[in-house]
Amino acid sequence: MTRQHGRGTFTSSRQAASDATAGPPDAAKEFDETRWSSRLLAFKRPFVTPSRAGRLELRTGAPVLNVVRVLEEAGEPIAIEHLALPEDLAPGLIPADLVTRDLCLLPRERFGIVAQLAGETLEPGDANVEHAKLLGVDVHAPVLCAERLTRDTRGRVVALSETVYRGDRHPAKSTLSSGG
């Protein structure tokens, strides 16, 4: 499906590489983990700022884990992820824990946290100097910016992710259902 602002919805014969199917996250279905890796750029445990406290539904000054990593597929950078995790939901995480591409399985296996709902906002953008350097693209190359707020089965915010994807390496396919 191709959406063009102000022009309705059109079908497209182009086959996309990734699938954003609605429903509970299932990391095993979405990718071949042997092709994915990540490079950790930052791993900090500051206190949450007032601007982020509301989005994470935490009190100002609560401990939060901030992670920045470059996601790679087959050794090539495809995204820069800025991740904020409430520290009390995932105590004891170390940098080596976050080298995996997908973080759905780690909270489930180690802390019994099951991601149930994620709200995501996607916006087109262009690579700034930092993005271009980390992603291996030209400055002002097209990127896809995604912000995802993930909740667990108890309704708690378990992660806030702000990710910048290479525009030339992240086609997407959506499957929409009426639920009936």
Domains of the chain, by residue range, sit at: 33-170
pLDDT of residue 16: 34
pLDDT tens digits for 130-175?
Answer: 999 999 999 999 999 999 999 999 999 999 999 999 988 876 667 7
At 93 the pLDDT is: 85
The pLDDT of residue 33 is: 57
Greatest extent of the chain over all pairs of C-alpha atoms, in Å: 50
Three-point CA angle 151, 160, 118, nearest 5°: 40
Whether 128 shows a pLDDT value over 80: the answer reads: yes
Would you state the pLDDT for residue 116? 85
The pLDDT score that the predictor gives to residue 23 is 40
For 85-111, what is each residue's pLDDT tens digit? Answer: 998 888 888 888 887 656 667 777 778
pLDDT digits (tens, 9 = 90+) for 23-63: 444 443 444 556 778 899 999 988 888 888 888 999 988 99
Confidence (pLDDT) at 111: 80
- pTM confidence score: 0.74
Residue 155: per-residue pLDDT: 93
Secondary structure (DSSP) of 15-62: PPSEEEESSS--HHHH--GGGEEEEEEEEE--BPPHHHHHHHT--TT-
Return all residues near 109 (Cβ < 8 A) that are at least 6 apart. Answer: none
In the chain, helix, strand, coil percent, each to 5? Answer: 20, 45, 40
CATH topology of domain 33-170: Chorismate lyase (3.40.1410)
Per-residue pLDDT, 179? 63
